[in-house]
Amino acid sequence: MLVLICVGWALITPLISFHTTGKAIANARRAAGLPVTCGPAVRARPFPVFGLNTWYTQRQLNLVVDAHAGAAPGTRVLLAA
C-alpha cells in the first residue's frame, strides 16, 4: 500500500505542476496586455512527446518580457492580472 501511495504521488505531482505553470503563464500574458494563447490545455498538446513543451513555455515567457522591454529601469512589472 505504501508503494502505491508513493508511486501515485510521483505521477500526480508533475501533472499538477504542469497545470499550475500553464495558468501562471496565462496570467502573466494577461497582465502584459498580450492575448492569452498559452494555458494548461495548449501545453498538453503533443509537445511533451518531443520535449517541445519546455521550448514553448520559455518562448511564451520571453514574449511577456519583450512586452515590457520599453519600460524604464526600476519600473515594477506585474506578472499577474
> Looking at the whole model, is its pTM more than 0.75?
no
Q: Which three cell numbers stand for residue 7?
A: 508511486
**Residues 40 and 22 sit within 8 Å (Cβ to Cβ):** yes
d(CA 34, CA 26): 9
List pLDDT tens digits, range 10-49: 778 877 888 888 888 888 888 888 888 877 777 666 566 7
